[in-house]
Amino acid sequence: MKSKILSIYLPQFHTIPENDAWWGKGFTEWTNVKRGKAFYPGHYQPREPLHDNYYDLKDLKVLERHIRMARKANLSGFCFYHYYFCGKTLLEKPIEAYRDHSKENFPYCLIWANQSWERSWYRSATNAVVLQQQTYGEEQDWADHFYYLLHFFKDKRYIKIDNKPVYVIYLPQDIKCRRQMFALWNKLAKENGFDGIYLIAMNTIYGKDQRQEHYDAFLDFEPLCLFKDDKSWRSFLDFWKEKKIKNIEWKKCSPGNRIWARNMYSYAYLCRKIEKKVKQNIPKTFPGIFAGWDNTSRKDEEGIIVRGSSPLKFQKHITKVLSMAEKTGKEYIFLNAWNEWSEGAYVEPDKRYGYGYLKAIRNAVNTYAGQREKKSGGRTLRRP
Protein backbone atom coordinates (compact mmCIF):
# COMPACT_ATOMS: atom_id res chain seq x y z
CA MET A 1 0.00 0.00 0.00
CA LYS A 2 1.49 3.32 -1.07
CA SER A 3 1.67 5.88 1.73
CA LYS A 4 0.57 9.46 1.00
CA ILE A 5 0.83 12.78 2.81
CA LEU A 6 -2.21 14.83 3.77
CA SER A 7 -1.63 18.32 5.13
CA ILE A 8 -3.70 20.06 7.80
CA TYR A 9 -4.95 23.46 6.62
CA LEU A 10 -5.98 26.43 8.80
CA PRO A 11 -8.73 28.67 7.32
CA GLN A 12 -8.31 31.60 9.75
CA PHE A 13 -6.77 33.95 7.19
CA HIS A 14 -9.84 36.05 6.55
CA THR A 15 -11.91 38.36 8.69
CA ILE A 16 -15.19 37.37 10.34
CA PRO A 17 -17.48 39.54 12.52
CA GLU A 18 -16.85 37.39 15.60
CA ASN A 19 -13.08 37.84 15.48
CA ASP A 20 -13.52 41.54 14.84
CA ALA A 21 -15.58 41.75 18.03
CA TRP A 22 -13.31 39.56 20.14
CA TRP A 23 -9.85 40.62 18.99
CA GLY A 24 -10.27 43.92 17.14
CA LYS A 25 -11.40 44.93 13.67
CA GLY A 26 -9.45 43.22 10.90
CA PHE A 27 -8.14 40.35 13.01
CA THR A 28 -6.89 37.28 11.16
CA GLU A 29 -4.15 34.75 11.91
CA TRP A 30 -1.73 37.22 10.32
CA THR A 31 -2.34 39.51 13.30
CA ASN A 32 -0.78 36.88 15.55
CA VAL A 33 2.07 36.18 13.13
CA LYS A 34 3.10 39.84 12.94
CA ARG A 35 3.41 39.97 16.74
CA GLY A 36 6.34 37.55 16.64
CA LYS A 37 9.58 38.74 18.19
CA ALA A 38 12.94 37.11 18.80
CA PHE A 39 13.57 36.32 22.48
CA TYR A 40 17.30 35.77 22.00
CA PRO A 41 19.88 35.99 19.18
CA GLY A 42 19.23 33.17 16.70
CA HIS A 43 15.55 32.77 17.64
CA TYR A 44 13.69 32.70 14.32
CA GLN A 45 11.02 35.35 14.82
CA PRO A 46 9.10 37.02 13.35
CA ARG A 47 8.02 34.60 10.62
CA GLU A 48 7.31 36.44 7.38
CA PRO A 49 5.75 35.02 4.19
CA LEU A 50 7.76 35.28 1.01
CA HIS A 51 7.09 38.52 -0.91
CA ASP A 52 4.95 39.70 2.06
CA ASN A 53 2.15 37.46 0.83
CA TYR A 54 -0.32 38.09 3.67
CA TYR A 55 -3.15 36.54 1.71
CA ASP A 56 -6.90 36.71 2.27
CA LEU A 57 -8.85 33.43 1.97
CA LYS A 58 -12.03 35.29 1.05
CA ASP A 59 -10.62 35.08 -2.45
CA LEU A 60 -11.09 31.49 -3.69
CA LYS A 61 -8.20 31.98 -6.10
CA VAL A 62 -5.84 32.03 -3.10
CA LEU A 63 -6.89 28.56 -1.95
CA GLU A 64 -6.76 27.31 -5.53
CA ARG A 65 -3.21 28.65 -5.82
CA HIS A 66 -2.31 26.77 -2.62
CA ILE A 67 -3.78 23.61 -4.10
CA ARG A 68 -1.61 23.90 -7.20
CA MET A 69 1.45 24.46 -5.02
CA ALA A 70 0.54 21.47 -2.85
CA ARG A 71 0.01 19.24 -5.87
CA LYS A 72 3.37 20.27 -7.30
CA ALA A 73 4.96 19.43 -3.93
CA ASN A 74 3.47 15.90 -4.11
CA LEU A 75 0.99 16.37 -1.29
CA SER A 76 -2.10 14.18 -1.71
CA GLY A 77 -4.76 16.34 -0.06
CA PHE A 78 -5.75 18.91 2.54
CA CYS A 79 -7.43 18.34 5.90
CA PHE A 80 -9.36 21.54 6.55
CA TYR A 81 -10.17 22.55 10.10
CA HIS A 82 -13.84 23.29 10.50
CA TYR A 83 -15.58 24.87 13.46
CA TYR A 84 -19.09 23.77 14.33
CA PHE A 85 -20.88 24.80 17.54
CA CYS A 86 -24.24 23.03 17.73
CA GLY A 87 -25.55 24.65 14.55
CA LYS A 88 -23.24 27.67 14.41
CA THR A 89 -20.28 27.63 12.03
CA LEU A 90 -17.20 29.86 12.03
CA LEU A 91 -14.51 30.34 9.35
CA GLU A 92 -16.50 28.10 7.00
CA LYS A 93 -16.62 30.31 3.88
CA PRO A 94 -13.29 29.36 2.19
CA ILE A 95 -13.99 25.63 2.51
CA GLU A 96 -17.59 25.94 1.34
CA ALA A 97 -16.43 28.04 -1.61
CA TYR A 98 -13.96 25.33 -2.60
CA ARG A 99 -16.67 22.69 -2.33
CA ASP A 100 -19.27 24.63 -4.31
CA HIS A 101 -17.33 26.65 -6.85
CA SER A 102 -13.82 25.35 -7.47
CA LYS A 103 -12.94 23.18 -10.45
CA GLU A 104 -9.63 22.14 -8.86
CA ASN A 105 -9.61 18.38 -8.38
CA PHE A 106 -7.72 18.06 -5.10
CA PRO A 107 -8.78 15.60 -2.37
CA TYR A 108 -9.73 16.88 1.06
CA CYS A 109 -11.39 15.97 4.33
CA LEU A 110 -12.48 17.84 7.46
CA ILE A 111 -11.13 18.04 10.99
CA TRP A 112 -13.68 19.08 13.57
CA ALA A 113 -11.82 21.45 15.89
CA ASN A 114 -14.39 20.94 18.64
CA GLN A 115 -12.86 23.03 21.40
CA SER A 116 -14.56 26.05 22.88
CA TRP A 117 -12.94 29.25 21.70
CA GLU A 118 -11.27 30.98 24.63
CA ARG A 119 -9.13 34.03 25.13
CA SER A 120 -6.07 31.86 25.59
CA TRP A 121 -3.39 33.96 23.88
CA TYR A 122 -1.33 37.00 24.87
CA ARG A 123 -0.46 36.15 28.51
CA SER A 124 -3.98 34.89 29.03
CA ALA A 125 -3.88 34.07 32.75
CA THR A 126 -5.60 37.35 33.56
CA ASN A 127 -8.01 37.24 30.62
CA ALA A 128 -9.30 33.65 30.52
CA VAL A 129 -12.83 34.02 29.15
CA VAL A 130 -14.91 31.83 26.85
CA LEU A 131 -15.62 33.50 23.51
CA GLN A 132 -17.64 30.73 21.84
CA GLN A 133 -18.87 27.84 23.98
CA GLN A 134 -18.85 24.36 22.47
CA THR A 135 -21.98 22.34 23.21
CA TYR A 136 -23.23 19.13 21.63
CA GLY A 137 -26.99 19.23 22.08
CA GLU A 138 -29.25 16.25 21.56
CA GLU A 139 -30.24 13.86 18.77
CA GLN A 140 -31.73 16.47 16.42
CA ASP A 141 -28.60 18.62 16.81
CA TRP A 142 -26.41 15.61 15.91
CA ALA A 143 -28.56 14.98 12.84
CA ASP A 144 -28.29 18.64 11.81
CA HIS A 145 -24.52 18.40 12.13
CA PHE A 146 -24.45 15.29 9.96
CA TYR A 147 -26.54 16.87 7.22
CA TYR A 148 -24.22 19.88 7.22
CA LEU A 149 -21.31 17.48 6.70
CA LEU A 150 -23.20 15.49 4.07
CA HIS A 151 -22.79 18.33 1.56
CA PHE A 152 -19.05 17.75 1.84
CA PHE A 153 -19.20 13.95 2.00
CA LYS A 154 -21.05 13.83 -1.36
CA ASP A 155 -18.28 15.79 -3.06
CA LYS A 156 -16.33 13.38 -5.28
CA ARG A 157 -13.11 14.99 -4.05
CA TYR A 158 -13.87 14.20 -0.42
CA ILE A 159 -11.49 11.53 0.94
CA LYS A 160 -13.10 8.19 1.69
CA ILE A 161 -11.77 4.89 2.99
CA ASP A 162 -13.79 1.75 2.23
CA ASN A 163 -16.71 3.93 1.09
CA LYS A 164 -16.63 5.82 4.38
CA PRO A 165 -15.99 9.60 4.37
CA VAL A 166 -13.03 10.41 6.61
CA TYR A 167 -13.90 12.67 9.52
CA VAL A 168 -11.25 13.65 12.08
CA ILE A 169 -12.13 14.94 15.56
CA TYR A 170 -9.64 16.97 17.57
CA LEU A 171 -10.91 16.24 21.10
CA PRO A 172 -13.46 13.43 20.91
CA GLN A 173 -13.06 12.62 24.59
CA ASP A 174 -14.75 15.95 25.35
CA ILE A 175 -17.96 14.71 23.71
CA LYS A 176 -19.79 12.94 26.54
CA CYS A 177 -22.56 11.82 24.18
CA ARG A 178 -20.14 10.51 21.54
CA ARG A 179 -21.36 6.90 21.58
CA GLN A 180 -24.92 7.94 20.73
CA MET A 181 -23.81 10.72 18.37
CA PHE A 182 -21.47 8.49 16.37
CA ALA A 183 -24.06 5.71 16.19
CA LEU A 184 -26.56 8.15 14.67
CA TRP A 185 -24.01 9.50 12.22
CA ASN A 186 -23.13 6.00 11.03
CA LYS A 187 -26.82 5.18 10.62
CA LEU A 188 -27.46 8.34 8.61
CA ALA A 189 -24.34 7.77 6.51
CA LYS A 190 -25.59 4.31 5.52
CA GLU A 191 -28.98 5.75 4.66
CA ASN A 192 -27.22 8.15 2.32
CA GLY A 193 -25.20 5.65 0.33
CA PHE A 194 -22.06 5.22 2.42
CA ASP A 195 -20.88 2.30 4.55
CA GLY A 196 -20.60 4.55 7.60
CA ILE A 197 -18.20 7.33 8.63
CA TYR A 198 -14.48 6.67 8.95
CA LEU A 199 -13.93 8.35 12.31
CA ILE A 200 -10.39 9.32 13.30
CA ALA A 201 -9.62 10.51 16.83
CA MET A 202 -6.63 12.80 17.28
CA ASN A 203 -4.00 12.04 19.91
CA THR A 204 -2.98 15.47 21.22
CA ILE A 205 -1.37 17.11 24.21
CA TYR A 206 -4.68 16.44 25.97
CA GLY A 207 -4.18 12.69 25.61
CA LYS A 208 -5.90 9.85 23.78
CA ASP A 209 -9.53 8.81 24.01
CA GLN A 210 -9.48 5.44 25.77
CA ARG A 211 -12.82 4.42 24.25
CA GLN A 212 -11.07 2.96 21.22
CA GLU A 213 -14.13 1.05 20.06
CA HIS A 214 -15.70 4.29 18.82
CA TYR A 215 -13.11 4.90 16.09
CA ASP A 216 -11.80 3.43 12.88
CA ALA A 217 -8.38 4.93 13.55
CA PHE A 218 -6.32 7.40 15.57
CA LEU A 219 -3.98 10.18 14.43
CA ASP A 220 -0.84 11.36 16.20
CA PHE A 221 -0.99 15.15 16.10
CA GLU A 222 2.66 16.17 16.19
CA PRO A 223 4.54 17.58 17.94
CA LEU A 224 1.89 18.05 20.67
CA CYS A 225 1.40 14.32 21.00
CA LEU A 226 5.14 13.96 21.64
CA PHE A 227 5.12 16.70 24.27
CA LYS A 228 2.41 14.80 26.12
CA ASP A 229 4.16 11.43 26.01
CA ASP A 230 7.79 12.47 26.48
CA LYS A 231 9.31 11.17 29.73
CA SER A 232 12.88 12.28 29.08
CA TRP A 233 14.82 14.88 31.02
CA ARG A 234 13.54 17.40 28.45
CA SER A 235 10.03 17.22 29.87
CA PHE A 236 11.36 17.94 33.35
CA LEU A 237 13.40 20.84 31.98
CA ASP A 238 10.27 22.13 30.28
CA PHE A 239 8.39 21.99 33.58
CA TRP A 240 11.23 23.89 35.27
CA LYS A 241 11.30 26.54 32.55
CA GLU A 242 7.53 26.90 32.67
CA LYS A 243 7.90 28.00 36.28
CA LYS A 244 10.68 30.44 35.37
CA ILE A 245 9.18 32.20 32.38
CA LYS A 246 8.61 35.31 34.50
CA ASN A 247 12.37 35.88 34.09
CA ILE A 248 12.04 36.37 30.34
CA GLU A 249 12.37 39.94 29.16
CA TRP A 250 9.82 39.23 26.46
CA LYS A 251 10.03 42.70 24.93
CA LYS A 252 13.78 42.36 24.37
CA CYS A 253 16.04 40.13 22.30
CA SER A 254 18.42 39.22 25.10
CA PRO A 255 21.07 36.43 25.25
CA GLY A 256 19.90 35.71 28.80
CA ASN A 257 16.41 34.83 27.57
CA ARG A 258 17.83 31.66 25.99
CA ILE A 259 18.15 30.21 29.49
CA TRP A 260 14.51 30.78 30.38
CA ALA A 261 12.74 30.26 27.06
CA ARG A 262 10.95 26.94 26.59
CA ASN A 263 13.34 25.83 23.85
CA MET A 264 14.55 22.48 25.23
CA TYR A 265 13.31 20.34 22.32
CA SER A 266 15.36 19.94 19.17
CA TYR A 267 13.72 19.10 15.86
CA ALA A 268 16.10 16.18 15.34
CA TYR A 269 15.17 14.61 18.68
CA LEU A 270 11.43 14.83 17.99
CA CYS A 271 11.87 13.38 14.50
CA ARG A 272 13.67 10.38 15.98
CA LYS A 273 10.80 9.90 18.42
CA ILE A 274 8.27 9.96 15.58
CA GLU A 275 10.28 7.48 13.53
CA LYS A 276 10.50 5.15 16.51
CA LYS A 277 6.71 5.25 16.94
CA VAL A 278 6.08 4.58 13.26
CA LYS A 279 8.45 1.61 13.36
CA GLN A 280 6.59 0.21 16.39
CA ASN A 281 3.43 0.08 14.26
CA ILE A 282 0.92 1.20 16.88
CA PRO A 283 -2.41 -0.39 15.87
CA LYS A 284 -5.01 1.75 14.08
CA THR A 285 -2.80 4.85 14.30
CA PHE A 286 -1.81 7.16 11.44
CA PRO A 287 1.58 8.84 11.87
CA GLY A 288 1.97 12.59 12.12
CA ILE A 289 4.87 14.76 10.98
CA PHE A 290 5.65 18.45 11.31
CA ALA A 291 8.03 20.91 9.68
CA GLY A 292 8.67 23.05 12.76
CA TRP A 293 7.13 24.48 15.90
CA ASP A 294 7.29 27.88 17.60
CA ASN A 295 4.04 29.30 18.96
CA THR A 296 5.55 32.28 20.79
CA SER A 297 3.89 34.77 18.42
CA ARG A 298 0.57 33.45 19.74
CA LYS A 299 1.49 32.53 23.33
CA ASP A 300 4.34 34.98 24.02
CA GLU A 301 6.76 33.66 26.65
CA GLU A 302 4.50 30.69 27.41
CA GLY A 303 5.05 29.31 23.91
CA ILE A 304 7.30 26.34 23.11
CA ILE A 305 10.19 26.66 20.65
CA VAL A 306 11.48 23.62 18.76
CA ARG A 307 15.05 24.35 17.69
CA GLY A 308 16.91 23.36 14.56
CA SER A 309 14.37 22.58 11.86
CA SER A 310 15.54 22.92 8.25
CA PRO A 311 14.24 21.78 4.86
CA LEU A 312 17.01 19.16 4.56
CA LYS A 313 16.22 17.61 7.96
CA PHE A 314 12.53 17.68 7.10
CA GLN A 315 13.18 15.94 3.77
CA LYS A 316 15.21 13.14 5.34
CA HIS A 317 12.55 12.66 8.01
CA ILE A 318 9.68 12.43 5.51
CA THR A 319 11.55 9.91 3.38
CA LYS A 320 12.06 7.63 6.39
CA VAL A 321 8.50 7.97 7.63
CA LEU A 322 6.97 7.26 4.21
CA SER A 323 8.98 4.07 3.83
CA MET A 324 8.20 2.85 7.37
CA ALA A 325 4.53 3.77 7.05
CA GLU A 326 4.18 1.64 3.94
CA LYS A 327 5.80 -1.34 5.66
CA THR A 328 3.27 -1.06 8.50
CA GLY A 329 0.28 -0.61 6.20
CA LYS A 330 -0.42 3.06 6.91
CA GLU A 331 -2.00 4.68 3.86
CA TYR A 332 -1.82 8.25 5.15
CA ILE A 333 0.64 10.46 7.00
CA PHE A 334 -0.72 13.73 8.39
CA LEU A 335 1.40 16.86 8.16
CA ASN A 336 1.01 19.65 10.70
CA ALA A 337 0.56 21.89 8.79
CA TRP A 338 0.27 23.80 5.54
CA ASN A 339 -0.16 27.23 7.13
CA GLU A 340 -0.10 27.28 10.93
CA TRP A 341 2.11 30.36 10.81
CA SER A 342 1.67 31.54 14.40
CA GLU A 343 2.65 28.06 15.62
CA GLY A 344 5.69 27.89 13.34
CA ALA A 345 4.16 24.77 11.76
CA TYR A 346 3.93 25.63 8.08
CA VAL A 347 5.48 24.65 4.74
CA GLU A 348 4.42 27.69 2.72
CA PRO A 349 7.23 29.86 1.33
CA ASP A 350 8.81 32.29 3.79
CA LYS A 351 11.56 34.86 3.63
CA ARG A 352 14.21 32.64 5.22
CA TYR A 353 13.80 29.36 3.33
CA GLY A 354 11.81 30.37 0.25
CA TYR A 355 10.17 27.27 -1.22
CA GLY A 356 12.56 25.02 0.70
CA TYR A 357 9.99 23.04 2.68
CA LEU A 358 7.75 22.44 -0.33
CA LYS A 359 10.76 21.27 -2.33
CA ALA A 360 11.67 18.99 0.59
CA ILE A 361 8.27 17.30 0.41
CA ARG A 362 8.50 16.91 -3.36
CA ASN A 363 12.02 15.46 -3.17
CA ALA A 364 11.12 13.10 -0.32
CA VAL A 365 8.06 11.73 -2.12
CA ASN A 366 10.06 11.32 -5.34
CA THR A 367 12.80 9.47 -3.44
CA TYR A 368 10.22 7.25 -1.81
CA ALA A 369 8.59 6.52 -5.18
CA GLY A 370 11.99 5.62 -6.62
CA GLN A 371 12.65 3.25 -3.74
CA ARG A 372 9.30 1.53 -4.33
CA GLU A 373 9.99 1.13 -8.04
CA LYS A 374 13.42 -0.30 -7.35
CA LYS A 375 11.99 -2.86 -4.92
CA SER A 376 9.34 -3.87 -7.43
CA GLY A 377 11.89 -4.36 -10.19
CA GLY A 378 10.20 -1.69 -12.27
CA ARG A 379 6.73 -3.21 -11.92
CA THR A 380 3.79 -1.00 -10.91
CA LEU A 381 2.83 -1.75 -7.32
CA ARG A 382 -0.89 -2.01 -6.78
CA ARG A 383 -2.85 -1.86 -3.58
CA PRO A 384 -4.04 -5.41 -2.65
Residue extents of the structural domains in the chain: 4-231+267-375
Averaged over 10-32, what is the pLDDT? Answer: 96
Q: Give the model's confidence band at 127: pLDDT under 50 very low, under 70 low, under 90 confident, else very high.
A: low
The confidence score (pLDDT) of residue 382 equals: 41
Averaged over 335-353, what is the pLDDT? Answer: 98
The confidence score (pLDDT) of residue 374 equals: 83
Which stretch of 94-108, 124-138, 196-210 has the lowest confidence by average pLDDT? 124-138
pLDDT value at 19 more than 60: yes
Neighbours of 39 (CB within 10 A): 27
Closest by CA position to 228, among listed 247, 202, 248 = 202
pLDDT value at 221 more than 80: yes
Q: What pLDDT, in 10s, does the model give residues 51-73?
A: 999 999 999 999 999 999 999 99
Are 9 and 339 in contact by the 8 Å Cβ rule? The answer is yes
CA distance 13 to 93: 11
CA distance 299 to 343: 9
CA distance 299 to 224: 15
Residues 6+ apart with CB under 8 A from 134: 85, 86, 114, 115, 116, 174
Averaged over 169-191, what is the pLDDT? Answer: 97
Q: What pLDDT, in 10s, does the model give residues 166-179?
A: 999 999 999 999 99
pLDDT value at 124 more than 80: no
The mean pLDDT of the chain is: 94
The confidence score (pLDDT) of residue 381 equals: 40
Q: What pLDDT, in 10s, does the model give residues 358-380?
A: 999 999 999 999 988 887 765 54
CA distance 326 to 383: 11
Q: What pLDDT, in 10s, does the model give residues 298-323?
A: 999 999 999 999 999 999 999 999 99
Q: Give the model's confidence band at 384: pLDDT under 50 very low, under 70 low, under 90 confident, else very high.
A: very low
Q: Give the model's confidence band at 383: pLDDT under 50 very low, under 70 low, under 90 confident, else very high.
A: very low
Q: Give the model's confidence band at 187: pLDDT under 50 very low, under 70 low, under 90 confident, else very high.
A: very high
- The fold for domain 4-231+267-375 equals TIM Barrel (3.20.20)
Are 176 and 214 in contact by the 8 Å Cβ rule? The answer is no
The confidence score (pLDDT) of residue 129 equals: 84
CA distance 156 to 93: 19
Closest by CA position to 301, among listed 129, 124, 53 = 124
CA distance 146 to 192: 11
The confidence score (pLDDT) of residue 210 equals: 86
Averaged over 32-38, what is the pLDDT? Answer: 96
The confidence score (pLDDT) of residue 379 equals: 52
The confidence score (pLDDT) of residue 1 equals: 78
